[in-house]
Amino acid sequence: MEERISSLVQINHAAEETMRNTLFKLGACALALTMLGLTAAQAAEIGAAPVVSIPLLFGIPIEFFLFVTTLLGVALFHGRTMEIAASAAILIALYKILFSVFPSGLGVAGFAGHLGHEWVTLTNLFALLMGFALLSRHFEQSHVPAALPRFLPDDWKGGFVLLVLVFVLSSFLDNIAAAIIGGTIAGTVFRGKVHIGYLAAIVAASNAGGAGSVIGDTTTTMMWIAGISPMEVLEAFVGSGLAVLIFGIPAAMQQHAYSPIMKNEAAGNAIDWGRVFVVILILVAAILVNVVVNTRFSTQSALFPFIGAAVWLALLVSAQFRKPDWAALPGALKGSIFLLSLVLCASMMPVEHLPLASWQTALGLGFVSSVFDNIPLTALAIKQGGYDWGFLAYAVGFGGSMIWFGSSAGVALSNMYPEARSVGQWLRHGWHVALAYVIGFAVMLAVVGWHPHALLR
């Protein structure tokens, strides 16, 4: 009898969690659809209209409903996320080929043109996800994470210092790498027990650090390439720096109550400086190629996945004296296919117009970027113009942290910690991220003020 009651309780808890996930997802998607639905009414004000009309349902393109259904499937069926996302990418592509239109044209030719436009982004992302999975193993096997307890404070402040470290790293490093490094260190110093609220904070720290740096995030790099001064983006640190304090302290306390930081370094721990060199080599290669390509060869940057190729070249060269843990790749592959499928789905959404540029629109884009890919949103905002680019960088860069699949860093970290793939748990325990986003934005308005700028070219 007791076993039956226990079983019924477990089923009830599972049903409640599923319902929470569904409600949270519906709320997020409703917000996104509301934002995007406004664009049809304001398209005439912007002064542009699609050449070919697309099928609408309740005034909203049908593609959005297909994408919302995909997100609901991901929320409800955690064990089949890759299959659902990949199937959705195929379904949405077929729908657009047969009934709708791509920005590059109609039918199969339009789809081919779309892939031709997106392949560099997708390939770069795939190469980085797979490459950084090996980098993470190199870093873990270097035993540096196990040596950190001697430098980190023993109480909750140790967890907070680690978040600040992730924030600093991501200001000059890809946010995926910063999140993976943070997740690897956390897994060691917290003995493999990392709270979901703290995982959300690691992702938020990695995105916040890149928000004010033109080499720290893809979206800010896009602004730089478009002719926006790095100094205009720099003001995003006003909001993101404050945000780290707002979400970092409660997240560190959550983690300390869940699993305190390891007070002493493991006995007999010897750092493998060869693997440390490999990690540094990979990161330096990624940073140098990112800076050189986007400053000296910006026109060619969209023609080839230079950053991903640089990471793999460094991995293969360093394999001559430190062999990578190739066994990490199969696990990373599943998560990579899932992310690429979602990014492809998002790229096919007909977001041809945005509401008129204003601080309210920028604030809303932060919430939208937690559901939709922030890269096409950023590209459209740059094309539209009229934004305060620091506010936009903060919104699209940090906003995706509010849901685990809202940023590449979140998806990468969920490959390491599958329990993070619960939308309900992420929002429930990572509540401080959304709070930090809103407060950081409000403080930017009060301190910096909204000053829209035209592009330099």
Higher pLDDT, 50 or 147: 147
pLDDT at position 198 is 97
Instruction: Compute φ and ψ for 452, nearest 5 degrees.
Output: -65, 145
pLDDT at position 140 is 76
pLDDT at position 225 is 61
Higher pLDDT, 198 or 132: 198
Could you report the per-residue pLDDT of 16-32, keeping only the tens digit for each? 444 444 444 444 444 44
Asked whether the predicted pLDDT for residue 75 surpasses 60, the reply is yes
pLDDT at position 376 is 65
Residues 36, 67: contact at Cβ < 8 Å? Answer: no
pLDDT at position 407 is 82
Could you report the per-residue pLDDT of 363-382, keeping only the tens digit for each? 999 998 887 767 667 777 87
Higher pLDDT, 15 or 279: 279
Could you report the per-residue pLDDT of 204-243, keeping only the tens digit for each? 999 999 898 876 777 787 777 666 878 889 999 999 999 9
Please choose, from the candidates 197, 180, 163, 182, the residue with its C-alpha nearest in 3D space to the C-alpha of residue 425: 197
Could you report the per-residue pLDDT of 281-323, keeping only the tens digit for each? 988 888 788 778 767 776 777 788 888 888 899 999 999 888 9
Higher pLDDT, 184 or 214: 184
Rounded to an integer, the average pLDDT of 386-412 is 88
Higher pLDDT, 301 or 360: 360
Could you report the per-residue pLDDT of 423-442, keeping only the tens digit for each? 888 999 999 999 999 999 99
pLDDT confidence bin for 351, thresholds 50/70/90: low
What whole-number percentage of the chain has pLDDT above 70? 82
pLDDT confidence bin for 122, thresholds 50/70/90: confident
| pTM exceeds 0.75 for this model | no
Rounded to an integer, the average pLDDT of 3-28 is 42
Higher pLDDT, 405 or 127: 127
Higher pLDDT, 173 or 159: 159
Rounded to an integer, the average pLDDT of 382-402 is 89
Higher pLDDT, 76 or 327: 327
pLDDT at position 268 is 61
pLDDT at position 344 is 85
Could you report the per-residue pLDDT of 235-281, keeping only the tens digit for each? 999 999 999 999 999 999 999 999 998 766 555 668 888 988 998 89
Asked whether the predicted pLDDT for residue 176 surpasses 60, the reply is yes
Q: What is the residue-averaged pLDDT of the chain?
A: 80
Q: Which of 188-202, 263-277, 288-302, 333-347 has the highest mean pLDDT?
A: 188-202
Identify the weakest region by mean pLDDT among 84-98, 107-121, 407-421. Answer: 407-421
pLDDT confidence bin for 40, thresholds 50/70/90: very low
pLDDT at position 264 is 64
Asked whether the predicted pLDDT for residue 152 surpasses 90, the reply is no
